[in-house]
Structures are given as C-alpha cells and as structure tokens.
Structure 1
C-alpha cells in the first residue's frame, strides 16, 4: 500500500484533482481532511493552488499542514517568501490566512498528538512520506495557517 500512496503523491493529475472541486464550492465533500491553499508565486507573482491534507485543526481559525516533500516544495518556498495566502476548507471558501512555520518543539508536539490519535494513519503516512521523499516524517516542516475572521 505504501508504494501506491508514494506513486500517487508523485502523480500530478492525481494530486491536483481536488482543486476544481474546491474552486466550485464543493470542498465540504472532503470533510475538512483536505484543504485548498492559494499562495503567490515568488517569481511570477501569480496565484498558485495546491490541495493538501490537514494534520490537525486546533480550532476553526487554525489549521496545521505538513510539507511532505520538505522545504523544497514550491508552495512551501512561496509561503516563506510571502506568508499571506487563502484557504478553502470544509464550508469555508476563499478565507484569507497567514502561514507560519512551526518551531521544532511545536512540530514534535503536533506529530506526537497525530501519532496517538491516528496510529494507523500515522504509520501509513510515515511510510508514504519516507518512500516518496527519503525524509523521515519527523524531519518535514509543519506549518500553521491562521485564518482571518
């Protein structure tokens, strides 16, 4: 199963397939497990979109995500250049937000909670990330998106 998940993460059409559903206002179909992130291209200045799995949602105005491909992911690099973004999640559409990279201590705490609350998903996700990227799950960056009210 891990190999299938790792291959899927490297398949562009598959990872981009939720984007039109979010843009059409159907993000609620993913039940908050996925979100659509609009970020600004650091070179082009153009809006860019990526669908990402949520790791944790501490409250309605904060969402934790992981950069499964590490610090080299284009969306991660774009958010470091300009942390202002927009988020579609559940019934929320096009919410302005600000991204912040979690500290190593915050990341460890998030990962520990995820491991305790979702042991099977954690095991699968850890295997997929390691196979896809060569990075252990505890070495990828985690970000907090704070949604404006």
Structure 2
C-alpha cells in the first residue's frame, strides 16, 4: 500500500519535470548515470519536448529506457510517430540518437534483467504501471543508439 502511494506521488507530471532545467543547463551529471533526458519532437506541433527517464539497461553504445506509463506516454507516442530524438546523459549534452522500439519479447527480457539488478526500482516501476494502466499493462522498452 505504501509503495503504491509513493509510486503515485513520484508519477505526478510536475515532479517528473523537475530535472529538465538541470539537463538543459548542462548539469545532468548531478543526477547520476541512471537518468537521461530525451528531447523529442511533438507529433502534432513539431516542437521540441523533453522528458527525463531512468535507464534500465546500458550496452555497448546503447541505452534502453522503459516507458513507465506504457504506450500512452506522450514521449513514447512522439518517438513512435517520428523517431527523432536527442539524448542528454551525464556530461554529454544533446547527442542525436537512432530510436528502436523493442518488441514485447525483447522488452520482457530487458525488464527481467533490470529486475534482477534493481529489484526495488523494478517494483516501483511495476506499481506505477499498475496505477496508470491496470494490472495487465505491458512496459515498452525504447533503445537509443548514437548516430
């Protein structure tokens, strides 16, 4: 019960937007290596939009992030529509990346590895998804590769 309340508080839009000014000022490294800012284009407006998300897996020149609000998240829908993105991570500011939306099977495999490495954070992500979309929601994974 307490975990659900915390997940609900952490999932509030205004709280999720707090790190954006830090990244835009080039201070993203203060937030650690597990967070990145994605700059993407609005699918209707074409304007730059920003979101800070947690990295669930790092590979050789690859970052994978989870859409905690599923396929309904605006940033996920924007990436699905136009595939244009820039990442700011740590000291790196605004690097163009290729976007790959992983299929359900690959997403599940990434999330299983994430749950093994970060069990508490994995539970919080699952709680947030349950609140946002119901018990059977899937968590899509987006892979970013530098261009």
TM over 0.5: yes
In 1, Cα distance between equivalents of 2:68 and 2:18: 18
**Residue 53 of structure 1: how far off its partner (Å):** 1.1
Give the structure 1 partner of residue 25 of structure 2.
Answer: 24
Runs of at least 5 residues in structure 2 that lack an aligned partner in the other structure = none
Alignment of 1:60-139 (within 5 A): 61-136=61-136, 139=138
Instruction: Sort the Cα spacing of 1:128 and 1:73 in 2 relative to 1 into closer, same or farther, 3 A.
Output: closer
Is contact 2:68-2:125 (8 Å) kept?
no
In 2, Cα distance between equivalents of 1:38 and 1:144: 14
In 2, Cα distance between equivalents of 1:91 and 1:136: 37
**Residue 71 of structure 1: how far off its partner (Å):** 1.0
After TM superposition, the score normalised by the length of structure 1 is 0.89
In 1, Cα distance between equivalents of 2:86 and 2:135: 28
**Residue 128 of structure 1: how far off its partner (Å):** 2.8
In 1, Cα distance between equivalents of 2:63 and 2:126: 20
The residue matched to 2:100 in structure 1 has which SS?
Answer: strand
Extract structure 1 runs of 4+ deviating beyond 4 A: none
Is contact 1:86-1:97 (8 Å) kept?
yes
Runs of at least 5 residues in structure 1 that lack an aligned partner in the other structure = none
Question: Number of aligned pairs?
Answer: 145
In 2, Cα distance between equivalents of 1:37 and 1:21: 13
In 1, Cα distance between equivalents of 2:70 and 2:100: 15
Is contact 1:66-1:142 (8 Å) kept?
yes
Is contact 1:7-1:132 (8 Å) kept?
no
Instruction: Sort the Cα spacing of 1:26 and 1:136 in 2 relative to 1 into closer, same or farther, 3 A.
Output: farther
RMSD: 1.5
